[in-house]
A and B are shown apart, each in its own frame.
Chain A
Amino acid sequence: MEALAGERMIKYDARGLVEVDDTVPKISEIDGDRAVFDAKDLSTRKINLELRWLLYEQGVKDVTVLNPGAKHSLGVGILTRCKITFDGSLGYFGCGVIDGPEIHVKGRVGWSVCENMMSGVVVIDSNAGSLTGAAMRGGDLVVKGRVGARTGVDQKGGTIIVLGSAGMMTGFMLQRGRMIFCGDVGAGLGDSMYDGTIYVAGKVRSLGIDCVPGEWTDADTELIERKFRVHGLGSPPEFQKFVCGKKLYNYDNLEPSERKLVL
């Protein structure tokens, strides 16, 4: 055990080989099922440990995190229904792999927010970086500012709503789910998408491979109106709809070896 003493003292570990900061700070002010804590002087790990301790062990349902200070990987892996408010900005990989929470970020977020989100609602008051909602599978992600490139890459479900503009390769390899953009989108919209729907109110710089304009139905109107009403986004603008042209679908083609057998 003596040998461990030295390792415990390690404060900075660039390669992440040593477990550091593994004690819960327990600094929150808890009031019934609500809690508030200041994240200013806490490391990423401590903030996430504090969140887990509040949500899983203290029965808290509503947490406010003050001064997140654009730290990376905050609010990740939360698998319970709860409400989390970040009173500031998040860095990269914020709110990844979540299932259930309702998260409100009062600032901006960096790259890869809500990566692989399963369910819940995330509302971001300002801008977001690239890869927003990458591989998302369910829930609603609302960005009130603009987003970077490759929004919703590999999205497999859920809804992404962006009130500002979006960068290039938006909806790249979109597989299922919906994306709603009130502003302009960059080049290569919906490139190589498999399925799903993209709605754009602004200008589209160019469409990607196999992304084509779709036919508007009543279900589209209902969806847009419902989402805008639920999130209190005012009256929706006029949208264009884009879907997969399914020209790249080659799934039922046989492999060369199989074709030989058939013939």
Chain B
Amino acid sequence: MCGIAGVIYRNDGGAHAVGRDMTRMLQSMKHRGPDSTGYALYGPPQELVVMRYKLADANDPRDFDFEQRLEHHKGEVETRLRLLGATIHNVERETGYAYRVTFDYGGELKKVADVVEDVPHAEVLSLGHSLEIVKDLGDAEQVARQYHLDDFVGTHAIGHVRMATESDVDISGAHPYWAYPFSDVAVVHNGQLTNYFHWKHRLERSGHRFQSECDSEVIAVYIAQKMSEGSTLEEAMRESLEELDGVFTYICVTDDALGMAKDAMAAKPLVLYEADDIVALASEEIAIRAIVDHEIDTWDPYEGEVMVWKR
């Protein structure tokens, strides 16, 4: 049992407190997954590339040269970025092990991800011109405080509270997943995939890498792969209903759209609220009510349904 949530603002202002909204939604669903909390937030699109990466996990043992090693690896990441031709604008150390880097780069982003992840223990959490993924152990309020997410303004966001069933409780196993190597695509998922290895191996053969043992990572890469072959987000999600096995409800986001898909058995819940200015969806209605202060009408999508909203 996990909790997923998504919110997208439809009037084109672009500056909504999506970070605060998502924290409220996820905190109200804390009982669905106390292990870890994750956010995929979309800020206003910018020319610079935003990369979030981590060099260690929250529960890695802190041995005596931990700090030194981290500092060395951080320097290594920056050197490699410069060698690729990127001009680094800003580096923020969000926690002891997670960093946010903005840089100017015109080339292929897959190369950036590959080169950075070649540094020991480095994992790129997100890479793109708008997407930022933040995930850590603990509940939504803890993570939001750690990473200062209440100030985050943007257009849409998804989030996840995790009760680990398939893999370890660590940051690598936490959602959302960025669809390596495609920029600005992320997924949160509630459920289990039964043909996970099948798809993982198939996608690995076409050159993708998987950072975790978590089945949900497959969905992100699967969708992005389909989109790179020319499908729209909605088409890719419809195909996933046929090609992915198991029980799942997932939310997928790109830089300008947010979509949901529910498997043929309708075994995992999702509640929808659709208004002219906002669409909010979550595993439980209580999460939607955390950000909408008036009486609302909501409904459950049916089995095999796919819906996509543009911002």
- Enumerate chain A interface residues (CB-CB to B < 8 A): 14, 69-72, 88-89, 91-92, 107-108, 110-111, 126-127, 129-130, 145-146, 148-150, 167-168, 186-187
Contacts and interface: CB of A to CB of B under 8 A. Distances in A.
B300 A129 contact: yes
Contact of A167 (B266, B286, B298): B266
A151 to B, nearest CB: 11
Interface residues of B, number: 20
Contacts of B302: 148-149, 167-168, 186
Nearest to B272: A127
Contact of B303 (A70, A91, A146, A186): A186
A113 to B, nearest CB: 12
B284 A92 contact: yes
Contacts of B299: 108, 127, 145-146
A190 B146 CA distance: 51
B212 to A, nearest CB: 24
Contacts, number: 66
A78 to B, nearest CB: 22
Given A89-B289, A127-B297, A127-B298, 5 more contacts: A14-B31, A89-B285, A108-B285, A129-B300, A130-B266
Contacts of B12: none
Interface string B277-293: 00000001110110000
25 contacts: A14-B30, A69-B286, A69-B289, A70-B284, A70-B289, A72-B286, A89-B289, A107-B297, A108-B285, A108-B298, A108-B299, A110-B285, A111-B269, A126-B297, A127-B298, A127-B299, A129-B271, A130-B269, A130-B300, A148-B266, A148-B302, A149-B265, A167-B266, A168-B302, A186-B303
A149 B303 contact: yes
A110 B295 contact: no
A227 B284 CA distance: 32
Interface string B45-78: 0000000000000000000000000000000000
Contacts of A146: 299
Those 3 A-B pairs whose CB atoms lie nearest each other, nearest first = A70-B285, A149-B266, A148-B300
Given A129-B269, A129-B271, A148-B266, A110 B297 contact: no
Nearest to B34: A14
Contacts of A127: 297-300
Nearest to B305: A167
A87 B289 CA distance: 15
A68 B152 CA distance: 30
A187 B265 CA distance: 10
B140 to A, nearest CB: 13
A69 to B, nearest CB: 6
Contacts of A187: 303
Contacts of A168: 264-266, 302-303
Contacts of B286: 69-72, 91
Contacts of A129: 269, 271, 300
**Of A69, A72, A89, A91, which is in contact with the most chain B CB atoms at under 10 Å from its CB?**
A89
A247 to B, nearest CB: 24
B303 A110 contact: no
Nearest to B285: A70
